[in-house]
Chains A and B, each alone.
Chain A
């Protein structure tokens, strides 16, 4: 519940500033209050409640008002920095990661990725750069990752984070199909970020572009700006919409960003832009993204590209690597092996 800690502090402080006491002409510095302001606790009432509320001097009232306005202004300026969505990362330091067996010849590649992941998690967040590598030669087009993602993130109809695109190449009788799974590419220079008018989406320190559902007003600008069609909009539909009653699977809370939001009525994430976040909530618990663990062809790899011993770093170094629409200058963090 670190979510609005900072806002709460300032709020408490302003509530204090409004308390009409003679003693309290100046407010305490922010840091002093942070311990006291628990969830739902009211600010401690000042001891001497001598003056009734309507006897605040005009000078004092003005002073308080100025303080409020200044607090509001400056807070808003700081807050263009990452907010609640990223807060989960701080809990991570204390995370107990499972003990993994030592590397063995012929083991599943997932084991190696798990070990790589644990190594990356031991580093500070700013030094990681999560990337995904998808081996198109191995993809069999089973769409298991798409479905795994839908179940993991409890996605409603119309919202897909990782569709697998299909294409038929050649002319009959020499035809073949090829498949292209497309998560959000977590661009290094994401065109979807600067267009957001309320700063509800930004690129985190670890390279993941996140959306703050609380802040997003649903203008859909980012959706039109993403050249890969990686963002979708939650129009508030349910799988069991025309059924007699809402199915249970529609009521599952989505664990995205560790927030466990229930989709109902017009509450977020209904009315928000949504997109793949590399299963941020899973990574930070030491798990691989759901699409990676599900891939039956072991065609999707995930890891920290800032670590040269990491599997993905090896794969990215291979000569047959490409990124989608490189010419747009978006610097995607998802690589394809062709």
Chain B
């Protein structure tokens, strides 16, 4: 496997003492555990998530019964939590695609242990994100009018509207992510099928593995398909959030009408996505004893990615302030002042601290390798990224051009319940995933193990060679 031989990690990306057998055994044992032996911790976690999911459903029901008036929306602030949550969730999804597609193309083999998990996270985050724009509508049952389909109602989307672009961006993203994830799972389904004890399990995994027999032709086709899908998803990392940012940038509103939005949104998306990956992997590697697969090296690398993207985001904040002042437009200048000293100023300063200042600590190895710090930090960043969207949506809207139409936005119970409930959806799906599917890529870990062994052999051979002792060529194979 050519692509794994490019880098030589300083630190192990697989713990010592792991062999092909132990890798497969360790990872596949989680989904193959008998239902009756489900760990208690999982049950508790699932129950909690499921109750939040119920809260979500109740909020939706109430929303459909009473309309969007149950939220704290009013007339200058016509976009509220629904849009904030939408942008937030879709941002979180981006880390998955970045890890699985971009890092694959860049041959960063350390990604192999976290990519499956990150892709699953992407899918679930996109599921949450995709619901919010629909719930946001005043007449949500008509959302399908946004889709260009042949009809005799005379409905056709207007392609000048960024909201219509969103429909394409998100549906493409969801489709490609799902395909990528499912294709990546096929060889592992086959492993599970072969190891499954129960008949039903065997049948289900057999069905899902689509007749995978690990023949070399299968592998060849598989590798090609996977690479092509990776190449397809790579532009999506950039395009989806750029288009989301255009929802704002196209409008003339001070605070929205900013050319820096697309790159700054993409960086923010990757930033928040990695934060979410950290928030999720740190506890999971602990509970399931997966420290050998998700090693310190992984955490360190993710922290580095966050440092880079976090700095870009911070630069974006500063540029927004700078251009507000530099524009010499009274409205832009007022917007900047209103952010810094207006009624929502605490949100803005909290944002600067969470996303601008605290990530700078990651310059130090001590913080990058300090697991409790990383966990707390990732949560801080998640909050910070949510605040960023709050600042953009609410602070810009609540005081726009005409002072007489200014108003404040106060979220209601239903605003919060819908937001918190969406975690229920996310975590319910996630719990189901870690329980019933291999959350780490078994075969890629085995290949990684193989290439690590190769490299170890290679190093050994070089050492021997330098000593003037030529090894037998046969040993190299």
A83 contacts which chain B residues (CB < 8 A)?
A: 154
Cα separation A225 to B140 with both chains bound (whole Å): 20
What per-residue 1/0 map shows which CB atoms of A134-173 lie under 8 Å from chain B?
A: 0000000000000000000000001000010111000000
A218 contacts which chain B residues (CB < 8 A)?
A: 68, 137-139
Cα separation A328 to B397 with both chains bound (whole Å): 17
A71 contacts which chain B residues (CB < 8 A)?
A: 150, 152
Q: Are A197 and B138 in contact (CB under 8 A)?
A: no
**Chain B residue at minimum C-beta to C-beta distance from A214:** B153
Q: Are A217 and B137 in contact (CB under 8 A)?
A: yes
Tell me the B375-412 residues at the A interface (CB within 8 Å).
397, 400-405
From the candidates A76, A79, A194, A328, name the one contacting B160 in the complex (CB within 8 A): A194
What per-residue 1/0 map shows which CB atoms of B288-323 lie under 8 Å from chain A?
A: 000000000000000000000000000000000000
What per-residue 1/0 map shows which CB atoms of A57-95 lie under 8 Å from chain B?
A: 000000000001111110111111001000000000000
Tell me the B123-157 residues at the A interface (CB within 8 Å).
133, 136-140, 142-143, 145-146, 148-157
- A198 and B157 in contact (CB under 8 A), knowing A229-B400, A236-B67? yes
Cα separation A233 to B252 with both chains bound (whole Å): 19
**Chain A residue at minimum C-beta to C-beta distance from B393:** A224
Cα separation A55 to B212 with both chains bound (whole Å): 43
- How many chain-A residues does the 8 Å CB contact rule pick out? 59
Q: How far is the CB of B428 from chain A (nearest CB, A)?
A: 28
- A77 and B75 in contact (CB under 8 A), knowing A191-B252, A270-B67, A271-B68? no
**Chain B residue at minimum C-beta to C-beta distance from A235:** B69
Q: Are B156 and A217 in contact (CB under 8 A)?
A: no
Cα separation A198 to B167 with both chains bound (whole Å): 12
**Chain A residue at minimum C-beta to C-beta distance from B253:** A224
A233 contacts which chain B residues (CB < 8 A)?
A: 68, 73, 75, 78, 138
**B36 at the A/B interface (Cβ < 8 Å)?**
no
From the candidates A11, A167, A195, name the one contacting B163 in the complex (CB within 8 A): A195
Cα separation A197 to B163 with both chains bound (whole Å): 6
**Chain B residue at minimum C-beta to C-beta distance from A327:** B329
Q: Are B67 and A271 in contact (CB under 8 A)?
A: yes
> DSSP majority for the B interface?
loop
Cα separation A270 to B141 with both chains bound (whole Å): 13
A227 contacts which chain B residues (CB < 8 A)?
A: 252-253, 400-401
Cα separation A234 to B403 with both chains bound (whole Å): 22
Q: Are A229 and B143 in contact (CB under 8 A)?
A: no
**B250 at the A/B interface (Cβ < 8 Å)?**
yes
From the candidates A182, A199, A217, A325, name the one contacting B142 in the complex (CB within 8 A): A217
Cα separation A46 to B148 with both chains bound (whole Å): 33
Q: Are A228 and B404 in contact (CB under 8 A)?
A: no
B157 contacts which chain A residues (CB < 8 A)?
A: 197-199
**B251 at the A/B interface (Cβ < 8 Å)?**
yes
What per-residue 1/0 map shows which CB atoms of B66-88 lie under 8 Å from chain A?
A: 11110001111011000000000
**Chain A residue at minimum C-beta to C-beta distance from B138:** A218
**B158 at the A/B interface (Cβ < 8 Å)?**
yes
What per-residue 1/0 map shows which CB atoms of B238-276 lie under 8 Å from chain A?
A: 000000000100111100100000000000000000000
A198 contacts which chain B residues (CB < 8 A)?
A: 145-146, 155-158, 164
9 A–B contacts, CB within 8 A, in A order: A71-B150, A163-B405, A165-B404, A191-B252, A197-B146, A224-B251, A224-B256, A225-B253, A325-B401
**A residues near B, CB below 8 A?**
6-7, 10-11, 14, 68-73, 75-80, 83, 158, 163, 165-167, 180, 182, 191, 194-199, 215-221, 223-225, 227-229, 232-237, 266, 268, 270-273, 325, 328
- Top 3 A-B pairs, shortest CB-CB distance: A218-B138, A72-B150, A235-B69
